[in-house]
Amino acid sequence: MGGVKKDNPNLSQQAFPFLRLACFPWNGDHRCMAVNDALFETSIPELPMIGRGKVRDIYSVDDNNLLIVTTDRLSAYDVVLPDPVPGKGEVLTRLSLFWFRMMDDIIDNQLTGLTIDDVVKDNGLCEQLRDQSLVVRRLKPLPIEAIVRGYLIGSGWRDYRESGQVCGIDLPTNMQQAEKLPHTLFTPASKAAVGNHDENISFEHSADLIGENLASRVRDISIEIYERAAAYALQRGIIIADTKFEFGLDDEGRLIIIDEILTPDSARFWPVDEYQKGTSPPSFDKQFVRDYLDTLDWDKTAPGPALPASVLAETSQKYQEALTRLTDQQ
């Protein structure tokens, strides 16, 4: 896993060496406010760091467990952006826990029942990181991402306009942007290193990578999780347009769901009352950031552009609203 940019003039070091601040608007005045601290990267001296992902810092606990800290870093188009979103890591962690528990009758998950307090001695670090960290099982990740689509949007919409297909799957003619698909699609992707773009692949290619039986299980479980979550979210006024899952294997070869699940970073959430096909709906996820980035003269490669304070603030609010609507947690 690659690192992330550390020297960011929009961030300032605080009393804890692993915390940095982001600037936010206050009453229309874009000033730095100490109350709006955001976790850009971590340092836990007593644990060996395995690496930094786009969003997560990963530490070795022992031969069986890892500590994963979900920072407030933001990535878009597979590029880590220089400005973090306050509260984002906690939202992702709490939502993942919510969905892991809801889906535990479908598939086992990575959770261990341990917390950071069980593996880190520094009370100050535990206090600061408790709400956005998980102790998880050490597993062997599969080399694919399991992408599930319920609506025609994003790269699927771009594929459809060019070919009438999504990842090689034929669709009816004259479909509109953001239209509900005739049935849920499983469209896997190969994983890319930090800074590179994931690549859509066919189901047959995924079977070549991990075996046909395992690929079929990943597909069927992914669709089952998505459809259960989509039905639940619809009752809460949210459409889950699409999402991605990651899976790993334990030492006995059992399939386990890992990483995050159905968060604003890994799914597109649309408000039901503002949904309209034929356009890109407003969202409770980082599509808001993608839409802003699409207005810039940026080639979607690192380094990513700085985000205005107003975009960071709006993004933070959207993440929090998704958590509240789906779980009633504040």
Domain with CATH 3.30.200.20 in the chain: 20-137
| Helices vs strands, H then E, count in the chain | 8, 18
The β-bridge relationship of strands 65-70 and 133-137 is: antiparallel
Q: Which residues touch 117 (CB under 8 Å, ≥6 apart)? A: 126, 130
Domain with CATH 3.30.470.20 in the chain: 140-297
Q: Above pLDDT 70, what percent of the chain?
A: 87
Average pLDDT over residues 66-95: 94
Q: Which amino acid is at 193?
A: A
Q: Rounded to whole angstroms, how far apart are CA atoms 217 and 259?
A: 18
Question: Binning pLDDT at 50, 70 and 90, where does residue 31 land?
Answer: very low
Residue-level pLDDT at 193: 58
Judge whether residue 77 has pLDDT over 90. Answer: no
Average pLDDT over residues 89-93: 97
Judge whether residue 273 has pLDDT over 50. Answer: yes
Give 20-137's CATH code, choosing from 3.30.200.20, 3.90.110.10, 3.40.50.1400, 1.10.3720.10.
3.30.200.20
Q: Above pLDDT 90, what percent of the chain?
A: 78
Residue-level pLDDT at 319: 94
Q: Rounded to whole angstroms, how far apart are CA atoms 264 and 4?
A: 21
Tens of pLDDT, residue by residue over 162-176, are 999 999 999 999 999
The single-letter DSSP state of residue 308 is: P
Q: Are 151 and 239 in contact (CB under 8 A)?
A: yes
Average pLDDT over residues 211-237: 98
Judge whether residue 32 has pLDDT over 70. Answer: no
Tens of pLDDT, residue by residue over 110-146, are 999 999 999 999 999 999 999 999 999 999 999 999 9
Question: Binning pLDDT at 50, 70 and 90, where does residue 2 land?
Answer: very low
Q: Rounded to whole angstroms, how far apart are CA atoms 311 and 314?
A: 5
Q: Rounded to whole angstroms, how far apart are CA atoms 156 and 81?
A: 24
Domain 140-297 is found in CATH 3.10.310.50? no
Q: Rounded to whole angstroms, how far apart are CA atoms 215 and 201?
A: 12
Phi-psi region of 328 (alpha: psi -120 to 50; beta: other; left: phi over 0): left
